[in-house]
Amino acid sequence: MPQTQWILISHPLCPFVQRVAIVLHEKGITFERVNVDLHDKPDWFLAISPTGKVPLLKVQHADGGGSVLFESVAICEYFEDLQPSPALHPQDALLRAQHRAWVEFASATLSDAWGLLNAADHETARATAAAFRKKLERFEADMSSGPYFAGNSFSMVDAVMAPIFRCFDILDFDFEPTHHVFDGLKRVANWRLALALRPSIQAAVTPDYAILFREQLREKDALLATV
């Protein structure tokens, strides 16, 4: 691989940043992480981010040239192409396309989960819990017997789902109307446990992540803030 530096522009709580960090750790790629305050975005960040969001990846070459990538899936796919081993997508073209579709489904799942986690009233919590549950049921029906989404091999689908499960692992709640979300989903439960134990997933956040996450919930007056 050419002498290139990778700088991941980040926020400590962003689940999309975690996706990229997990992939980088899985690939064994050394990178620098720079956090920005998304409540007070610096001018240099706004100048290079088309969406004003993280993650961004600054790619700096030894000859002084460089580029910026945005959107977590695009960044993850870049590293999959750049360093094919260990592979995070199946080699078979059809299976690879199916996995990419599940990555998109995981993004929709994250949206529902995030809505539930940040719900400030019971009506919103019930609606988002129901939507999240339906998506988990689809994973339960279509995934392998584990331990990962496609069996023994860790994949990109695992990388993009892990940040979702992490939030619920932190809260470990028993809270109406959300405590039935995972009930009866044995494959999902085993998957969630396997991901929590994966070193790349553990390394994708700082040691104070749980504290910061709870603080964010309190700032948003989320129902789950006190759980």
Among this protein's residues, is 76 annotated catalytic?
no
**Does the CA dihedral 119-121-126-127 come out positive or negative?**
negative
Asked if 54 contacts 38 with a C-beta cutoff of 8 angstroms, the reply is yes
DSSP-derived 3-state class of residue 132 = helix
Measured at the alpha carbon of residue 131, what is the angle toward residues 125 and 137, in degrees to the nearest 5?
A: 125
Amino acid identity at 103: V
Note if the bond before 90 is cis, omega within 30 degrees. no
Catalytic residue among 9, 13, 14, 75: 14
Residue with the two structure tokens 């959107």: 71
Nearest to 15 by CA among 142, 166, 143: 166
Q: Which residues contact 124 (CB under 8 A, 6 or more apart)?
A: 115
DSSP-derived 3-state class of residue 207 = coil
Written as one string, the DSSP assignment of 62-131 is TTS-EEEEESHHHHHHHHHHH--SS-SS-SSHHHHHHHHHHHHHHHHHHHHHHHHHT--SHHHHHHHHHH
Instruction: Give the active site residues.
Output: 14
